[in-house]
Amino acid sequence: MADAPAAPRMIAISSGKGGVGKSTVTANIAVAMAQSGLSVGVVDADVYGPSIPGMLGIRGSKPAMTPEGKVIPARAHGVAVISMGMLTDDDAPAILRGPMVTKYLQMFVRQVDWGPLDMLLLDLPPGTGDIQLTLAQAFPLAGAVVVSTPQDVSLKIARRGLRMMEQVKVPILGVVENMSGFTCPSCGTVTHIFHDGGGERIAEALGVPFLGKIPLDPAVVDSGDAGQPLVQAAPDSPAAAAYGRIARALAAAGPGATGIATPFAWTLADGRGRPAPVAPAPDGLPESLAALDLDGVNLRLTWADGHVQTLAPRDLRIACPCAKCRDEVTGARLLDPATVPLDLRLTRIWSVGNYALGMAFTDGHDTGIHTFRALRQLQDTEMEDV
């Protein structure tokens, strides 16, 4: 039997605030990657304000379905695309509550007939809200790129976006400074309308790569409005060259995530879905898992740096951080440990993005998300309190 195709590297293109040109960056680096020979897909995850179809010239394209019930993505400039803009009329608003947004995002990734892909770029909406958290929890993101402009206010909000991705253990692949400077077409003088060098400074301060500056160019807007990305419309322009360098850097970057492969869902009764272990190393990340196992009825965790923990199901249940068990404001415990059975067992364990585990117990409780950081600290804190 032939091996299953390798999963694509999923990279989120994010921004702290709107109006920084994130979707334009996504469209151009996707086409630049495709021009280099990679198989590329784009998920327009900005459900409320989709703009990728217009920028790639597929506005009004309605997706078809395969006999198996999967959505066939549109294709433009060598890139496969799925977007809410392809499912609704051009001026129809997407009036959706959070659960429906989550459903659409799951569909855009899992129920689309992408075919073999090398890269899957996720064009996120601005901010640090529900969509960003859903994608970080549901899919094994290889990393995130943060787009900003040189303005101080944009850079401050970009810092928040970086911190959010770090908290959910999505590796930061780099910072892109968009609208970096304007070159006069007559005299060649560069004018830094929105300041200069802020993106590079914030990348250095936070210890993440700086992927490059993209200069202001009226042709970027004109080509985007015409549905032909700048890397095709004006491949010799300075902005197109900058997009190309960023695309090559992202394509060459190694996998961001370390530890066991995600997603997984391990049913303990029959062992189905247990993730394959990886070898720990002295330089492994202390909050990345290398293996999960059972030590009798207890959960045995081996971390990427070689540290090993053995945690009792009852202790894990008492340490549950969900809103039923902990006050969301004060963090005070609401669950009475005396109500937790002494013979409690784990029934199922699943990954939550690259940063946490979900757990189900024999008492029916299954709503807690145990972050790797909390699990790593559990023996030294919670277990001594109970």
Q: What tens digit of pLDDT does each residue of 162-189 get?
A: 777 777 778 888 899 888 777 666 665 5
pLDDT beyond 80 at 383: no
- Cβ 15 vs Cβ 22: under 8 Å: yes
Say how many domains are in the chain.
2
Say if residue 345's pLDDT is above 50: yes
Task: Based on the fold, state whether residues 181 and 221 are members of the same structural domain.
Answer: yes
pLDDT at 256: 46
| pLDDT of res. 99 | 67
What residue has token string 């060459």?
252
When comparing pLDDT for 82 and 354, which is higher? 82
Look at 15-24, 81-90, 194-203 and tell me which has the smallest mean pLDDT: 194-203
Structural domain containing residue 326: 265-385
User: Cα–Cα distance between 386 and 384 in angstroms, integer?
Assistant: 6
Predicted confidence at residue 245, as pLDDT, reads: 93
348 lies in some domain: yes
Model pLDDT for residues 271-281, shown as the tens digit of each residue: 999 988 988 88
pTM: 0.71
Q: Using one digit for the tens of pLDDT, what is the confidence trace for 143-162? A: 889 888 877 666 677 777 77
Q: What is the pLDDT of residues 50-65, one digit of tens each?
A: 889 889 988 767 778 8
pLDDT for residue 45 is more than 80: yes
Does 103 share its domain with 219?
A: yes
Helix (H) or strand (E) holding 310: strand 308-311
Q: Domain of 130: which CATH number?
A: 3.40.50.300
Please state, as a whole number, how many other Cβ atoms lie within 10 Å of the Cβ of residue 141: 26
Note whether 248 and 269 are same-domain residues.
no
Average pLDDT, the chain: 82
Q: How many helices (H) and strands (E) does the chain have?
A: 12, 19
Domain-embedded: residue 258: no
